[in-house]
Amino acid sequence: MSYKKEFIEFMVKSDVLTFGDFTTKSGRKTPYFVNTGNYKTGKQAAQLGKFYAECIMENINKGNIKGDISALFGPAYKGIPLSVATAIALSNEYDKNLNYCFNRKEEKDHGEGGSMVGYKLKDGDNVLIIEDVITAGTAIRECFPILKASANVNLTGLIISVDRMERGQHDKTAIQEIEAEFGIKTYPIVTVRDIIDTLHNVPIDGKVVIDDSVKEKMEDYLKQYCVNND
């Protein structure tokens, strides 16, 4: 089983990938939802970190991401445990010991102060961002000024769990817009197309989560909001 297929099944079994009627942060009505906030056990966190680590190493080996990463950055709040779990997995599975850091939603005005926690970023550092899902790209845009305010870092890539393949603020996908605005490429573990292809009429623990009806709703959603969904 490929790690991508394994990851999709893992999300379903963890109640992170669910199907029904939902509203995204961008206000779109969607027939499926990915909520990494539903991971809640140490075992899940350990496995999740391994999936992110495998995606990173795969893209390093392909030459998509440079191997000299200085730090992993996890945007508050969901990116925080993701960055930590990924750093642990990279150390345990690949003997790749990386720094990690994350931001506070509100800047601290006592103690060490500031808005950043963990590794102190320095000019010239190569930073890889670890996030959950991008829909319109709003949350990601918020973290760029935070990183640049900390130091003159190089943003070497963005790793996410699922690419929803949706339009951002205009006619391109949110991922394409982020690359155009900030020069940073996004590498998802899986795409929504991978999810449909993997789960359509395939039982998980004896239950089919994407039957013909759900698939039709997802395809309609892709036609309405997505770009290049083939």
Q: Encode pLDDT of 165-181 as tens digits.
A: 888 777 788 889 889 98
Averaged confidence pLDDT in the chain: 90
- Per-residue model confidence as pLDDT tens digits over 110-121: 445 468 899 999
At residue 2, the pLDDT reads 92
- What backbone torsions phi and psi does residue 186 show, to the nearest 5 degrees? -110, 135
At residue 110, the pLDDT reads 47
Look up residue 116 and give its amino acid: M
**Catalytic one of 43, 62, 110, 207:** 110
At residue 181, the pLDDT reads 87
What is the bridge-based pairing of β-strands 126-130 and 154-163?
Answer: parallel
CATH number, domain at 14? 3.40.50.2020
Q: Shortest CA distance to 51 belongs to which of 99, 17, 75, 25?
A: 17
In a domain, 230, yes or no: no
How far, in Å, are 25, 94, 140 from residue 168 at the CA level?
12, 35, 12
In a domain, 177, yes or no: yes
Alpha helices, DSSP H, located in 26-116: 42-61, 79-94
Is 108 a known active-site residue?
A: yes
Is 110 a known active-site residue?
A: yes
Domain region containing 216? 3-225
Q: Which portions of the chain are predicted below pLDDT 50?
A: 110-111, 113, 229-230
At residue 73, the pLDDT reads 97
Domains in the chain, number: 1
In a domain, 145, yes or no: yes
In a domain, 125, yes or no: yes
In a domain, 70, yes or no: yes
In a domain, 112, yes or no: yes
**Catalytic one of 40, 108, 148, 170:** 108
At residue 4, the pLDDT reads 97
The answer to whether residues 46 and 37 touch, using CB atoms and an 8 Å cutoff, is no
In a domain, 196, yes or no: yes
At residue 106, the pLDDT reads 66
